[in-house]
Amino acid sequence: MKAANIKDRLLGYLFGSACGDALGRPVEHFSLEEIKARYGEKGILEIPPDSPWTDDTQVMLVLARALLRGAELEPEEFMSILSEEFVKWLDEPDLGAGETCKGAAFRLREGFHWRESGIKESKKCGSLMRSGILGFIYRNDPEKLLEIASLSGKISHCHPTANAACIAGAYAVKLALDGVRPEEMFSPLLKVTAGISAEFTEAFEGAYELAQGDLGDEEALRKIGQGWDAEETFALSCFCMLRYPDDYKKTVQTAVNITGDSDSVGAVAGGIMGARLGLEALPENWIKALRGKETLEDMVGPLLEKYERVSTKAGKA
């Protein structure tokens, strides 16, 4: 992929994820009926001026900073750096972080090793929502991508279902950068998550079946779930991408107008779609409305340099 194109795709991922996060933020925890009552029958459709993102984008940036410090290192060394970045994150403003992520960061600060900091029972979506940036950095080193995705997820979420979703979220961005359409992601994503979690596989397969069926978006999304747990978050995101594979805006609008974890589903779907379609696919007014966009812009150059370094080391520059 040409340098200009990969930069456009990185911008698409970063802003695509953050815009999905920001659009869903005001309606997280609302029922669909409550969303419609407040925003109209079609739900929330636009990002208001000066809209902040949530912890979803915040922890993705935590992971990104760790990658900038040591993506090319061996996994054990990288995880030590990620542990340090998680501890630093505790000093940042609380943008709505889940108890699993915060709990892991507190345990790391108390001296727990990163292999012991995660919660075994948690299958919430906190590891999934940050994992997409791994698909960019390790796009040309899929073996390391899968290993780092699993380890970096388990620093907070150790449940097999969360692990499978975290791996799938990272690998889906890699596939998107490779130009793979949503309907063509099914088999490779099943392959890289095989044997990890039957619960994840069932939800993932169900989303594909529903997307190909006759049910309307609202009814089908209700069948999938609310997105608080990782398998539902990823399944809901996949459903929206499958229904609107060439329309970033419609994908994200559909993703956030649900009863449940609107910002996380919007962030996951938005990041994957942005990585595949590039920055131009995003509404310009959404990008302008985003608070803190300079933070994302400042990450682009360093992340591109790290991408090239990791790709060269993998022999696929």
pLDDT digits (tens, 9 = 90+) for 171-229: 999 999 999 999 999 999 999 999 999 999 999 999 999 999 999 999 999 999 999 99
**Quick one: what percent of the chain has pLDDT higher than 70?**
98
Alpha helices in 213-292 (DSSP H): 217-224, 230-243, 248-256, 262-277, 284-289
Q: How far apart are CA 289 and CA 49, in angstroms?
A: 4
Q: How much is the average pLDDT of 39-56? A: 98
**Is the pLDDT assigned to residue 1 strictly greater than 80?**
no
pTM: 0.97
**How crowded is residue 300: how many other Cβ atoms within 10 Å of its Cβ?**
13
Alpha helices in 126-216 (DSSP H): 132-137, 142-154, 160-177, 186-192, 198-211
Question: In this predicted structure, what is the pLDDT of residue 4?
Answer: 61
Q: How much is the average pLDDT of 219-245? A: 98
Question: In this predicted structure, what is the pLDDT of residue 315?
Answer: 83
Q: How much is the average pLDDT of 18-35? A: 98
Amino acid identity for residue 159 in this structure: H
Q: How far apart are CA 270 and CA 20, in angstroms?
A: 5
Q: How far apart are CA 286 and CA 283, in angstroms?
A: 5
Domains of the chain: 3-313 (1.10.4080.10)
Mapped onto helix, strand or coil, the DSSP state of residue 224 is helix
Distance, C-alpha 131 to centroid of its chain? 5
State the residue for tokens 């979803």.
56
Q: How far apart are CA 30 and CA 260, in angstroms?
A: 7
DSSP per position, 37-96:
HHH-TT---SPPTTB---HHHHHHHHHHHHHHHHTTS-HHHHHHHHHHHHHHHTTS--SS
Q: Is the four-CA dihedral 89, 90, 94, 97 of positive or negative sign?
A: positive
**Is the pLDDT assigned to residue 237 strictly greater than 80?**
yes
pLDDT per residue as tens digits for the range 136-186 = 999 999 999 999 999 999 999 999 999 999 999 999 999 999 999 999 999
Confidence category of residue 98, pLDDT binned at 50, 70, 90: very high
Mean pLDDT of the residues in the chain:
97
**Is the pLDDT assigned to residue 266 strictly greater than 60?**
yes
